């Protein structure tokens, strides 16, 4: 372990020094973004640039501060690392700039599918893909004589067997924390049942439907096999349950699954038993109950051209193909960077992409619906109201918010 | 005092109040009666790692023209105050018209975010405030009776809950009451129910938040009352003793009347504080069971799409709420003041 750490630190040190050679900037760079391992790597790569100050603020609360931090003139943050959901808020508020000229000048290594174009203009550079997919304990499933579940119905059957065999009391894990996480799990299940969030081409909500009710009922059935505190468990808490050996099957983010058991204190049983597979389908549907995501970076609109250029160069350094030489970095994510060969840890996300999983909707009003789902579904999950009532509440809450924001 | 002296004396304070109290208030009021412009939506082709797709987006040029013309947004009057996220006038009317019983009406009311938040906030405020005053008084009387040697140490220890940052304090307790934590496990053992979970039950979550609220604020009441006890008129206590008053009667008829102005003060401050209960809800991840007006503001501003007008309106409703809550206490103080002069 110690030797491995030594090797890693020296590898990072060598990498940083070689990167510093290549990257020279002449203006301030300030990055805000989420905090999972792959983004930490990109942030470190940007900070390896010399010539001017590069600061990063990587936090799970990034989307609470990025719009505010980029609205001023000059903006506090010259770059925000975002995903296909959170770019919408930056677009809605018009705080990021088109990158076409910078891509032409400094974007040598970028592949076409890394460029996020909106109405023909490059607005972000994607560096990784992400999806939620199955993470399971192979040893536990062997004990009950089952294959890894391909559908949520099989997952329920497996959970029941594990509980009855007395192996685990609450074998299913899920990030069902009231708020963003719970809403996201609903989105997965809803799309898996063939639902679509809005009536065609409009901002009118469409979740109070058969697909919505089915999705909620499936979530309720799953929650019976979860830790009773599930409404307070986000993905970190769910992972902690898995690491502690309390959970055998869960739907987890690819970006977190790869490094799930690489922390101190995880028993060998969990380490050796952990395995990953593609996302599950539900209700006989053929579209996985999951969503596809990309993570990428943007450049602020309200900064000087010099700062924008410096930011672009620094962020390009953060996603330089040379970072993939490091084995540990390679398995942190499904990189979209040139020269990436998928590792074992990537097959969950790859399977999601191959199974035609639907990308998370990039619509100006999706954030409002997501918030409404997060606030209104917990009553149903606690058994306080019917699925129809919960979904009617979601639509009513969304309509009030969408009217306020001028979408309806 | 001469008017000009008063003017120059008050000017710095007045300016600061204007800058830090009046102007923000005006801005919140303005925000709460305006909403963003109607979004001009266009369908464009978006491309990314997963291919190209026709999607709706906001037409920035058209929207910015609208914004320059009317930078404040659309004037909507009290629309936001009355929408479902706030006072929900129409929904309440419907609930009234369609429910047979009071129970049915209240359960429909509890489904609306504002009334749900008020139910918890008021329960919290009106249980925590009297309890913390009672506990604060008990601790103050206890500490006051201790010998000088240990007093300093005991005072320091009793103040600790107030010194701990609310968010940190509630997080620590949150872990302890987890079904795998030390307190959560102890409660399961005591109740002989291995499935019992504090975090999964609305009633127990409320109890936990209330216990936390008392734990956190009792030291404040204690410090104030302890200071008050140092000015206790010893001759009155002595004469009460000679008249044969026992310890309880001394507290009831001498000490409490003496501390009454301080009790009013603590009640005022704590009513205001508890009405704005926020940190424990976040710290305990309790939003599935308990919300408050402050939490609604936080949630409106924290989503991927920020709802500034909704947040401003809830802020205004909070101010009205505090004002209504404080009226009886302030009225009494005013009456006392008039009686004295």
One pLDDT digit (tens) per residue for chain B, 341 residues: 688 888 999 999 999 999 999 999 999 999 999 999 988 889 999 898 888 888 888 888 888 888 888 888 899 999 999 999 999 999 999 999 998 889 889 988 989 999 999 999 999 999 999 999 999 999 999 999 898 889 999 999 999 988 888 888 888 889 898 888 898 889 889 988 887 888 888 999 999 999 999 999 999 999 999 999 999 988 988 999 999 989 899 999 999 999 999 999 999 999 999 999 999 999 999 999 999 999 999 999 887 788 999 999 999 999 999 999 989 878 887 888 887 66
pLDDT at residue B1 in the model: 67
pLDDT at residue A193 in the model: 96
Q: Do A67 and B47 touch (CB under 8 A)?
A: no
The verdict on B212 and B318 lying in the same domain is yes
Residues of B in contact with A406 (CB under 8 A): 35-39, 74
Cβ–Cβ contact B104 with A under 8 A: no
Give how far Cα A39 sits from Cα of A86, A335, B295, Å. Answer: 15, 11, 29
Cβ–Cβ contact B39 with A under 8 A: yes
Residue A309 near residue A106 (C-beta atoms within 8 A): yes
Q: What range defines the domain where residue B87 resides?
A: 77-111
Q: Of B59, B86, B111, which residue constitutes the final position of a domain? A: B111
Q: Do domains A2-130+292-351 and A131-289+361-404 have the same CATH topology?
A: yes
Q: Which CATH class is domain A131-289+361-404?
A: alpha beta
The verdict on B187 and B234 lying in the same domain is yes
The verdict on B105 and B169 lying in the same domain is no
Which of A64, A336, A364 faces B302 most closely, judged by CB atoms? A64
The verdict on B221 and B103 lying in the same domain is no
Residues of A in contact with B116 (CB under 8 A): none
Q: Do A371 and B304 touch (CB under 8 A)?
A: yes
CA distance A350 to B50: 12
The verdict on B181 and B269 lying in the same domain is yes
Give the best residue of B303, B308, B313, B314 to mutate against chain A (max A CB count within 10 A): B303
Which of B53, B200, B309 faces A229 most closely, judged by CB atoms? B200
In the predicted model, is pLDDT for residue A9 greater than 50?
no
**Average pLDDT value for residue range A390-404:** 95
The verdict on B136 and B283 lying in the same domain is yes
Helix axes B166-176, B182-191, angle to 10 degrees: 50
Determine, yes or no, domain membership for B331: yes
List pLDDT tens digits, range A282-314. Answer: 999 999 999 999 999 999 999 999 999 999 999
Which of B45, B58, B285 faces A232 most closely, judged by CB atoms? B285
Tally of domains in chain B: 2
Q: Do A382 and B288 touch (CB under 8 A)?
A: yes
Q: Of B88, B111, B134, which residue constitutes the final position of a domain? A: B111
Give how far Cα A214 sits from Cα of A192, A265, B1, Å. Answer: 10, 39, 75
Residue A15: pLDDT band by 50, 70, 90 thresholds?
A: very low
Determine, yes or no, domain membership for B66: no
Which of B47, B179, B305 faces A229 most closely, judged by CB atoms? B179
CA of B36: which chain A residue's CA is closest?
A405
The verdict on B102 and B179 lying in the same domain is no
Determine, yes or no, domain membership for B48: no
Contacts of residue B237, defined as CB under 8 A and 6 or more positions apart, other chains included, come to B250, B254, B255
Determine, yes or no, domain membership for B131: yes
Cβ–Cβ contact B285 with A under 8 A: yes
Which of B44, B288, B301 faces A118 most closely, judged by CB atoms? B44
Residues of B in contact with A396 (CB under 8 A): 84, 91
Residue B176 near residue B208 (C-beta atoms within 8 A): no
The verdict on B322 and B295 lying in the same domain is yes
Structure-token pair, residue B74: 């659309």
Cβ–Cβ contact B167 with A under 8 A: no
The verdict on B104 and B223 lying in the same domain is no
Give the best residue of A401, A402, A408 to mutate against chain B (max B CB count within 10 A): A401
Contacts of residue B38, defined as CB under 8 A and 6 or more positions apart, other chains included, come to A406, B66, B74
Please give the backbone phi and psi of residue B209, each rounded to the nearest 5 degrees, phi first: -65, -40
Q: Do A232 and B199 touch (CB under 8 A)?
A: yes
CA of A244: which chain B residue's CA is closest?
B180
Vertex A36: Cα angle to A80 and A329 (nearest 5): 105
The verdict on B131 and B206 lying in the same domain is yes
Interface of B with A in 302-321 (CB under 8 A): 302-307, 309-310
Q: Do A362 and B46 touch (CB under 8 A)?
A: yes
Residue B142 near residue B272 (C-beta atoms within 8 A): no
Q: Tokens 């005006």 correspond to what residue?
A: B26
Measured in residues, chain A has a length of 408
Residue A393 near residue A350 (C-beta atoms within 8 A): no
Domain boundaries, chain A: 2-130+292-351, 131-289+361-404
The verdict on B90 and B139 lying in the same domain is no
In the predicted model, is pLDDT for residue A262 greater than 90?
no
Residue A1: pLDDT band by 50, 70, 90 thresholds?
A: very low
Residues of A in contact with B199 (CB under 8 A): 228-229, 231-232
pLDDT at residue A99 in the model: 95
The verdict on B210 and B99 lying in the same domain is no
CATH number at residue B330: 1.10.3720.10
Q: Do A63 and B35 touch (CB under 8 A)?
A: no
Q: Is 3.40.190.10 the CATH classification of the domain at A2-130+292-351?
A: yes
Q: Do B44 and A64 touch (CB under 8 A)?
A: no
CA of A124: which chain B residue's CA is closest?
B48
Which of B45, B113, B286 faces A375 most closely, judged by CB atoms? B113
Residue A180 near residue A370 (C-beta atoms within 8 A): yes
Determine, yes or no, domain membership for B294: yes
Cβ–Cβ contact B53 with A under 8 A: yes
pLDDT above 90 covers a percentage of chain A that reads: 75
């Amino acid at each position: 372990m110690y030797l491995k750490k030594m090797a890693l630190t020296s590898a990072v040190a060598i990498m940083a020094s070689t990167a510093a050679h290549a990257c020279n900037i002449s203006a301030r760079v300030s990055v805000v973004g989420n905090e999972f391992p792959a983004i930490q790597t990109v942030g470190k790569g940007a900070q390896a640039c010399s010539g001017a100050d590069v600061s990063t603020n990587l936090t799970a609360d990034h989307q609470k501060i990025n719009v505010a931090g980029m609205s001023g003139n000059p903006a506090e943050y010259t770059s925000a690392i975002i995903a296909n959901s959170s770019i919408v808020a930056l677009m809605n508020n018009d705080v990021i700039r088109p990158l076409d000229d910078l891509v032409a000048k400094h974007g040598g290594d970028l592949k076409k599918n890394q460029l996020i174009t909106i109405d023909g203009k490059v607005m972000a550079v994607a560096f990784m893909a992400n999806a939620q997919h199955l993470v399971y304990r192979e040893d536990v499933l062997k004990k009950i004589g089952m294959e890894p579940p391909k559908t949520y119905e099989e997952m329920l059957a497996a959970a029941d067997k594990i509980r009855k065999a007395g192996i685990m009391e609450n074998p299913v894990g899920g990030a069902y924390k009231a708020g963003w996480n719970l809403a996201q799990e609903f989105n997965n299940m809803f799309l898996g049942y063939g639902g679509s969030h809005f009536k065609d081409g409009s901002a009118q909500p469409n979740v109070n439907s058969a697909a919505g009710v089915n999705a909620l009922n499936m979530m309720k059935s799953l929650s019976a096999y979860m830790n009773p505190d599930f409404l307070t468990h986000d993905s970190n808490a769910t992972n902690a349950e898995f690491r502690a050996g309390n959970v055998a099957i869960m739907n987890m983010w690819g970006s977190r699954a790869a490094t799930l058991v690489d922390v101190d204190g995880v028993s060998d049983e969990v380490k050796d038993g952990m395995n990953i597979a593609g996302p599950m389908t539900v209700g006989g549907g053929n579209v996985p109950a999951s969503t596809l995501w990309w993570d990428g970076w943007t450049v602020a609109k309200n900064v000087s051209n010099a700062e924008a250029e410096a930011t672009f160069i620094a962020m390009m350094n953060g996603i330089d193909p040379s970072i993939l030489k490091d084995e540990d970095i390679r398995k942190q994510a499904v990189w979209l960077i040139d020269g990436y060969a998928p590792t074992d840890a990537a097959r969950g996300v790859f399977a999601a992409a191959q199974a035609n999983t639907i990308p998370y909707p990039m619509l100006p009003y999706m954030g409002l619906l997501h918030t409404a789902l997060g606030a209104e579904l917990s009553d149903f999950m606690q058994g306080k109201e019917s699925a129809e009532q919960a979904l009617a509440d979601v639509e009513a809450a969304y309509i009030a918010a969408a009217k306020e924001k001028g979408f309806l | 005092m001469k008017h000009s002296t008063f003017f120059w004396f008050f000017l710095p304070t007045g300016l600061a109040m204007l800058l830090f109290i009046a102007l923000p208030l005006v801005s919140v009021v303005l925000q709460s009666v305006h909403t963003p412009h109607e979004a001009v939506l266009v369908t464009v082709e978006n491309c990314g790692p997963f291919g190209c797709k026709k999607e709706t987006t906001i037409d920035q040029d058209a929207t910015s023209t609208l914004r320059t013309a009317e930078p404040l947004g659309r004037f909507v009057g009290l629309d936001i105050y009355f929408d479902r996220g706030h006072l929900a006038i129409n929904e309440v009317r419907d609930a009234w018209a369609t429910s047979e019983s009071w129970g049915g009406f209240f359960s429909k009311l509890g489904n609306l975010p504002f009334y749900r938040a008020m139910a918890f906030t008021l329960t919290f405020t009106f249980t925590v405030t009297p309890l913390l005053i009672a506990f604060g008084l008990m601790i103050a009387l206890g500490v006051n009776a201790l010998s000088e040697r240990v007093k300093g140490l005991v005072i320091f220890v009793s103040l600790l809950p107030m010194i701990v940052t609310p968010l940190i304090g509630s997080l620590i307790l949150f872990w302890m009451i987890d079904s795998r934590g030390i307190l959560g496990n102890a409660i399961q053992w005591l109740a002989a129910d291995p499935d019992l979970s504090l975090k999964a039950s609305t009633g127990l979550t409320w109890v936990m938040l209330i216990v936390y609220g008392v734990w956190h604020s009792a030291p404040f009441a204690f410090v104030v009352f302890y200071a008050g006890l140092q000015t206790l008129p010893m001759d009155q206590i002595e004469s009460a003793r000679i008249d044969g008053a026992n310890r309880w009667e001394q507290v009831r008829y001498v000490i409490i009347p003496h501390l009454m102005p301080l009790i009013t003060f603590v009640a005022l401050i704590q009513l205001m504080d508890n009405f704005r209960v926020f940190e424990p809800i976040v710290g305990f991840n309790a939003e599935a069971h308990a919300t408050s007006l402050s939490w609604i503001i936080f949630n409106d501003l924290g989503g991927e799409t920020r709802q500034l007008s909704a947040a401003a309106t809830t802020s205004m409703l909070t101010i009205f709420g505090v004002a209504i809550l404080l009226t009886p206490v302030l009225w009494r103080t005013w009456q006392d003041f008039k009686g004295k002069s």
